[in-house]
Amino acid sequence: MLSNIIPIVKPVSQITLEPGSTVSIPNVNWQEFESILAELGEKRAARIAYSYSTLEIMVPLPEHEKPKELISDFVKILLKVKGRQYEPFGSTTFKQEGAAGVEPDACFYIQNCQQMIGRRRIEPNDPPPDLAIESDLTSKTKLDAYLFIGVPEIWVYDRGRLKIYLLREGKYITSDTSPNFPDIPITKMIPAAIESSWQVGHVRALEEFEGAISRC
């Protein structure tokens, strides 16, 4: 005789994940996703990605955080040297109603920065960020979420390499150059600067990077 199976329901906020861990939860509808976001709150270490009814919750390692911070600072230097305005939106949650949600490690509005000045929360009709930064993006769920949301350019740093993904005709392709900085060898300079930072420190690496960019 089969015994009855009683499901155990626990709040997602009670799930404990070690740094570097990922949990994937299938068959999550949009209302459940919104409820989980509200339950987790904004002040948390975990990052989320949601697409095709699958929710992923990821907790980054410390070694993930250092490159992320450096690349974000490098982007600010690039924009400053090029005399371009921008609005940084960090790890803001971006959503496509009913379909996807994603939190980049860092992101920037560049072409659309004027529209986003003073914005305290993302509105339904706001454009996606012009550039998103990811350190060690290995999740198809996350890349699918970016596709739904329509982020035109993603930089992914992983194991000493930087890949540039550009949205073209409904899919992401890899590129050796960034449309935002077409004359800068991004995929070579940034990995070299990150590697240097482990030896000389964050501030010195930023100074060296700015000097190199000024000579380009």
Closest CA to 146 of 157, 134, 135: 134
Q: Flag whether 57 is in a domain.
A: no
Q: Flag whether 15 is in a domain.
A: no
Q: Flag whether 158 is in a domain.
A: yes
Q: Flag whether 54 is in a domain.
A: no
CA–CA dist 28, 55 (Å, integer)? 7
The pLDDT of residue 51 is 94
Domain with 125 in it: what CATH number? 3.90.1570.10
Q: Is the dihedral of CA 47, 50, 55, 56 positive or negative?
A: negative
* Residue 82 token pair: 């090029």
Is 67 within 8 Å of 135 (Cβ atoms)? yes
Q: Flag whether 200 is in a domain.
A: yes
Q: Flag whether 202 is in a domain.
A: yes
- List of residues 6+ apart from 185 with CB closer than 8 A: 177
pLDDT grade for 124, boundaries at 50, 70 and 90: confident
How do 47-51 and 22-25 pair as beta strands? unpaired
Q: Flag whether 27 is in a domain.
A: no
Helix (H, G, I), strand (E, B) or coil at 96: strand
How do 161-168 and 94-96 pair as beta strands? unpaired
CA–CA dist 78, 71 (Å, integer)? 10
> What is the average per-residue pLDDT within 23-37?
93
Q: Flag whether 178 is in a domain.
A: yes
Range of the domain at 182: 62-214
pLDDT grade for 13, boundaries at 50, 70 and 90: low
Q: For residue 124, with 0-12 CB atoms within 10 Å meaning exposed, 13-18 middle and 19 or more buried, which class applies?
A: exposed
pLDDT tens across 76-114, in order? 999 999 999 999 999 999 999 999 999 999 999 999 999
pLDDT grade for 5, boundaries at 50, 70 and 90: low
Q: Which residue type sits at 137?
A: L
Number of domains comprising the chain: 1
Closest CA to 110 of 85, 143, 132: 85
Q: For 15-24, 155-164, 190-199, which range has the lowest pLDDT when averaged over its residues?
A: 15-24
Closest CA to 89 of 118, 46, 63, 67: 118
pLDDT grade for 15, boundaries at 50, 70 and 90: low
Sequential DSSP letters for 149-208? HT-SEEEEEETTEEEEEEEETTEEEEESSBTTBTTS-HHHHHHHHHHHHHHH-HHHHHHH
pTM for this model (two decimals): 0.88
How many C-beta atoms lie closer than 10 Å to residue 18's C-beta? 7
